[in-house]
């Protein structure tokens, strides 16, 4: 988890950084546990990457998996990403 003093400025920076994801990557916006999130799947020849960013107020939760490209780990990675739980607190304003 990363906490930012200025959540709006940090979110704008990270929104731009997703634009640099390699061509052929799968990127999608989603809502995860009532919070805005973004997910990327980058397939390489030797290594692949899956990541999810979830915003909760001024905090960003980052989940990242780097794995051998020949392996089909999508189901396990999705299970890992979906296991994220948040501390008890009110839902953020969106």
- The model carries a pTM of 0.69
Q: What is d(CA 17, CA 87) in angstroms, rounded to the nearest whole number?
A: 27
Q: pLDDT per residue over 24-45, tens digit each?
A: 578 889 999 999 998 989 888 8
Q: What is d(CA 22, CA 45) in angstroms, rounded to the nearest whole number?
A: 13
Q: pLDDT per residue over 72-82, tens digit each?
A: 899 999 999 99
Instruction: Give CA torsion, residues 77, 83, 87, 89, to 10 deg.
Output: 100
pLDDT band at 94; cut points 50, 70, 90 = very low
Mean pLDDT over residues 48-73, rounded? Answer: 89
Mean pLDDT over residues 43-57, rounded? Answer: 87
Q: What is d(CA 68, CA 73) in angstroms, rounded to the nearest whole number?
A: 9
The answer to whether residue 90 scores a pLDDT higher than 70 is no
């Amino acid at each position: 988890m990363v906490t930012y003093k200025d959540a709006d400025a940090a979110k704008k920076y990270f929104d731009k950084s997703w634009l640099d994801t390699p061509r052929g990557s799968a990127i999608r916006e989603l809502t995860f546990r009532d919070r805005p999130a973004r997910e990327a799947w980058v397939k390489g020849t030797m290594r692949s990457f899956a990541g999810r960013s979830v915003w909760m107020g001024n905090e960003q939760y980052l989940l990242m998996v780097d794995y051998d490209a020949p392996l089909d780990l999508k189901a396990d990675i999705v299970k890992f990403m979906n296991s994220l739980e948040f501390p008890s607190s009110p839902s953020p304003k969106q």
